[in-house]
């Protein structure tokens, strides 16, 4: 009798899976999961069957093929969907890839724009994907690692957000917002990544980093 058969007919795998998911959602509400995240617990087939049992039991929600989350409800808004970033991060973990939000998405994530893009687009050095979850469409566009960027993730996010605004629309208020929002580690890294940004951004990035404080 194979170990897969034993896993499929025992509640142990599902229990371990549920415990780990509960632990991770306590620290990161709205996290999106794929079976790939749990292959240390069993074979792809057995983990997939455990996911199916949790979905049938209502502990998990199937968002799209291979993507799941813990159902959440808001007293006024009703059933909540995960963010585009959570979906993109799950796909990136599954593919062992890097991602970088494109300009409009980066501006929204950093609070520089209240406009939520109809299609959330990310660059990736892994396979391209388009996933639709309810009204939300998340697209990963395949690019080379050089195009995705070698800068630290937060630096890349800032660069993309400033590109989205354009040089003529980078206001003092928006720059001050970034200076207040980024933590010390990210601001320090921003200076290190300065050579990777266009020259017109450098004065803004230096201020965000606190160099003129």
pLDDT at 143: 80
DSSP state of 116: P
Q: Which residue shows structure tokens 């993730």?
A: 153
Residue 42: alpha-carbon gap to chain centroid: 25
The residue that leads in pLDDT, 199 or 119, is 199
Q: Contact at 8 Å (CB) between 16 and 10?
A: no
pLDDT of 69-108, one tens digit each?
999 988 888 888 998 889 999 999 999 988 888 888 888 8
Q: How many residues does the chain have?
A: 213
3-class secondary-structure state, position 68: strand
The residue that leads in pLDDT, 32 or 13, is 32
Domains belonging to the chain, first-starting first, are: 3-79 (1.10.10), 84-208 (no CATH)
Check residue 149 and give left, alpha or beta (phi > 0: left; psi -120 to 50: alpha): left
Give the mean model confidence (pLDDT) for residues 164-175: 89
Q: pTM of the full predicted structure?
A: 0.73
What H or E segment, with its residue span, contains residue 132? strand 129-133
Residue 121 pairs in a beta bridge with 139
Q: Contact at 8 Å (CB) between 98 and 43?
A: no
- Sign for the pseudo-dihedral over CA of 37, 41, 42, 46: negative
d(CA 201, CA 180): 18
For residue 81, which of 100, 54, 103, 62 has the smallest C-alpha distance? 62
């Amino acid at each position: 009798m194979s170990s897969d058969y034993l896993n499929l007919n025992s509640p142990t795998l599902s229990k371990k899976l549920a415990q780990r998911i509960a632990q991770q959602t306590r620290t990161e509400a709205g996290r999106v999961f794929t079976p790939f995240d749990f292959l240390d617990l069993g074979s792809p087939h057995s983990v997939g069957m455990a996911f199916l049992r949790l979905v049938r039991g209502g502990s998990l929600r199937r968002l799209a093929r291979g993507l799941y989350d813990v159902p959440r409800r808001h007293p006024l808004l009703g059933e909540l969907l995960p963010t585009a970033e959570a979906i993109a991060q799950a796909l990136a973990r599954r593919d062992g890839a890097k991602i970088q939000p494109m300009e409009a998405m980066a501006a929204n994530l950093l609070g520089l724009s209240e406009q939520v893009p109809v299609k959330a687009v990310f660059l990736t050095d892994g396979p391209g994907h388009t996933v639709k979850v309810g009204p939300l469409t998340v697209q990963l566009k395949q690019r080379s690692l050089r195009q995705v960027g070698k800068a630290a993730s937060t630096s890349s996010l800032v660069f993309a957000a400033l590109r989205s605004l354009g040089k003529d629309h980078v206001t003092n208020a928006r720059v001050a917002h970034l200076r207040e929002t980024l933590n010390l580690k990210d601001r320090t890294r921003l200076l290190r990544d300065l050579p990777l940004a266009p020259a017109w951004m450098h004065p803004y990035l230096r201020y965000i980093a606190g160099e003129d404080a």
